[in-house]
Amino acid sequence: MSILTIEGGAKLDGEISVSGNKNAVLPMLAAAFLTDEPIQLHNVPDILDVRTMLEIASALGAQYDFSNDSLTICTAGLHTACVSSELCAKNRTSVLFAAPLLHRMQKAELSLPGGDGIGRRRLDGHIYGLKSLGAHFLKDKTFAFETAGRLRGRELFLDEASVTATEHILLAAVLAEGTTVLYNAACEPHVADLAELLNRMGAKISGHGSNTITIVGVDSLHRATHTVASDHIEAGSFIALAAATGARLTIRGTSPRYYWMTRRVFERLGVRMTLHPDRIFVPGGQAMRIDNDFGGYIPTISDGTWPQYPSDMMSCTIVAATQARGTALFFEKMFESRLYFVDRLIAMGANAIVCDPHRVVVTGRTKLHGMSLSSPDIRAGMAMVIAALCANGTSKISNSQVIRRGYSDLVGKLTRIGAKIREED
C-alpha cells in the first residue's frame, strides 16, 4: 500500500500538461481485439488502469510494446475467450472485452468487473445491448455470452445514457450484419474518441458526440494509428487545485469545447479562467466567493450526463468550495457513495453537512489542517490531495495507489509546480 506525504501551504505556480484520456484509452484496448492487425496509440497515460487492461490483453494472447506515451498492441495471438475473476475484479472496463471476444471466438466468459466503490453501477445496458444484437446470455455464468454466428444490427434504446454500455454496443455493432441505431447513447468526449479510433480501423460510425449513434456493420477491421484526446477530468482536477490553493496555473493540452460547463461551475465559486485553443489559464490569488442564485438563494451544483457537469468532477469541486466564501449545495445524482469522502474533509476542518448520500452543503471559507487519511477511490483521492495542499501542516494519504489508477505522474506534475509531496510504498 502506497502513502502520499504532503506538506500543505506551499506556493504553487507553473504549467501542467494533461495526459491522455483514461476513459478513452481503456475501451480502445478492448477495441484492439476486433482485428488481428496492430493498433498504435499515442498520448497513452501510464496509469494502473491501463496496465490492468494490458494485463488482461496479454492473458488473452495479445502482444504489446508500451514506451513513453506510445503503445502498439497486436491481438493476432488471441487463444482464449476467458478472463479470470482476479483480472476482471481490477477495473470496470474489463467487461468491454466481451463483444470483441464474441466476434473473434463466438463466446466470452468473464466475471463481474471491479472499479471504484462509489455505488451501484449497472450491467443491464451491456446485457441488453449484446442480447439485442443476437448474443445468448449464459445466466448460469457470471458474465458470459455466446453466439452461433455473426451479430445482427437493429435499433436500440438505452434506459440510461451509460458510457460503458454505449462503448460496448459500439464494439459489438461495428462488425454486426446490418445497421444499428443507438438512441439515448452517451455522448461524452471519450465515447466520441473511441468512435474515431473505430472509424480509423474501417468502421462506419456516425452521430458520435450526440445521443443518437448510427453504426453500419462492416465485414472486417484493420490496423490503425490514433492519438488519444487529452483527459478533461484530469484538467478539471487541476482547475480545482488552482482554485483551492490560489495557484497561478497554465494547463496545457486542452480543447475549449470540453470545458464550457466546467467554466460555468467554477464561475459560481468565483473562479476566473481563460480558455485558449490549446490551454487553460487560471490566474493566481483569486478571492473566491460563491455566487448566489437570483434572489439570494443558495446555489445548487449538480452533476449529470454530458454535456452537464461530470460526476467525476464533484469531489474535487467540493474541496474547492471549502475555500470560497459563501454556501453551496452539491447534488451528486449518479452514485450513492461518491460523497462519503466528505467526512474526511469535515475531520480536516471543512464546514460541511452531509444531508444524505447524494447531497452535501458546504460553507466556506474554512481553514483545513493536515491529518492522516485513506483514499477510497480515484476522484476522492485526488480531492484529498488538493485538500492536503491547501491545508496547514502535513497530511498522509494511505491507499494512494488508487489515485494512480487515473492520474499519470501526479507526484512529478505537482512537484514541478512547487508542491511538497512524496510517495512511499
Helix (H, G, I), strand (E, B) or coil at 101: helix
* Cell 464474441 sits on residue: 102
Omega cis (within 30) before 27:
no
* b/e 214-245 (16+ beta carbons within 10 angstroms → b): bbbbbeebebbebbbbbbbbbbbbbbbbbbbb
Helix (H, G, I), strand (E, B) or coil at 7: strand
Longest dimension (CA), the chain: 65
Pair 273, 280: CB distance under 8 Å:
yes
Which residue out of 13, 46, 65, 116 is catalytically annotated?
Answer: 116
Pair 8, 371: CB distance under 8 Å:
no
* Cell 490553493 sits on residue: 245
Q: What are phi and psi of 43, to 5 degrees?
A: 60, 40
Pair 114, 86: CB distance under 8 Å:
no
Strands 326-331 and 359-364: antiparallel
The cell for 395 is: 497530511
Report the C-alpha gap between 75 and 60 in whole angstroms: 8
- 91 residue type, one letter: N
Report the C-alpha gap between 348 and 95 in whole angstroms: 37
Look at residues 123, 66, 39, 76 and name the one whose alpha carbon lies nearest to residue 408: 66
Pair 388, 380: CB distance under 8 Å:
no
Report the C-alpha gap between 243 and 251 in whole angstroms: 13
Pair 404, 413: CB distance under 8 Å:
no
- 350 residue type, one letter: A
Annotation says 116 is catalytic: yes
Residues forming the active site: 116
